[in-house]
Amino acid sequence: MNTTSSSSQSSSSSGRSFPLGKVKGQFEDKAKLVSAVQALATPALWLDRVNGDKGLTKVSNAKLLRLHAVLSRAQQEFGSRDKLIGAVLSLGKRSADEGYKARLASYPLPRLLDLHDSLNKSTSKKAAKPKAAPAKRVARTKKAKLKAAAAG
């Protein structure tokens, strides 16, 4: 009646990877993941909102993995929060809006990246779909058809 062995076998055979498995596969242990996140979490990218008493070691593996992915993506694509905020402002066509810029500066990095992705997606849809020219009106009744033929 060992239920843990059967559940661990079924989870490993299904191909799902749990956060602990991802941590061990990419970083070997949680301490190395925490140090990698701390190395990426420079003041240029990161607003420090971590509880000082607990630190990052008490954060779940899933959150740490997401945070590492977000920090590394922001570092590669933008380099700093200010450049990311500038990109969001330019995508939203609100470059001169200082109040909006100040509000964006208080947003956490994952929220800024999500906002950038959503604005990027909406602007690419608008650019890909040009506005169609209005269709020429077609006469619907017999009388209107005769009138259009006489005028044209």
**pLDDT tens-digit series, residues 13-47:** 445 688 888 888 888 888 888 888 888 887 777 77
Could you tell me which of 4, 109, 18 has the C-alpha nearest to residue 61? 18
Task: Read off the pLDDT of each residue in 120-135 and give the average, rounded to a whole number.
Answer: 73
- How does pLDDT run across 89-113, given as a tens digit for each residue? 999 888 888 999 999 998 988 999 9
Question: What pTM was computed for the model?
Answer: 0.64
Measured from the Cβ of residue 61, the count of other Cβ atoms closer than 10 Å reads 17
- In the chain, the DSSP E strands lie at none
Question: Which pLDDT value is given to residue 139?
Answer: 55
> Residue 70 burial (CB < 10 Å; 0-12/13-18/19+)?
buried
pLDDT, mean over the chain: 79
Question: Which pLDDT value is given to residue 114?
Answer: 92
Single-letter residue type at 60: S
- pLDDT over 70 at 11, yes or no: no
